[in-house]
Amino acid sequence: MAHHNDFGKTAEDLAADYLQKNGYKILVRNFRFQKAEIDIIAEKDDVIIIAEVKARSTDAFILPQEAVTKTKIKSIVSAANHYLEKFQKDNEVRFDIISVLPDDQKNLTIDHITDAFQAFDAN
């Protein structure tokens, strides 16, 4: 497996651990629908959280959350709608971005951006 794939998996593991420590229940990881993938689907306070994990080994170019384009939002929303239908969920849904970046000491830091975008942002 390529180094960037290992880093992405590590970032997703850190994000899932972070969510669990903060009272979220992880429902599904790496949920796929057609070509779309949702990194983490969690639940807290009866709200379904669709979390996109973005990681960079450096912040020299763009912040991870800036990499969530309109096209990516469309695919996440499409996959989220499929998940809700498949599992007959009618909960409120929130779309979050979890950014994972190294700090000055090369430790990975997590920035949890709640309500990062809305389903209508996909239009």
pLDDT in tens, 84-99: 999 999 999 999 999 9
What predicted TM-score, i.e. pTM, was given to this entire model?
0.89
User: What are 57-84's pLDDT values in tens digits?
Assistant: 765 667 667 778 889 999 999 999 999 9
CATH of domain 3-122: 3.40.1350.10
Q: DSSP string covering 12-50, please? A: HHHHHHHHHHTTPEEEEEEEEETTEEEEEEEEETTEEEE
pLDDT, position 68? 85
Domain boundaries, the chain: 3-122
The DSSP call for residue 64 is G
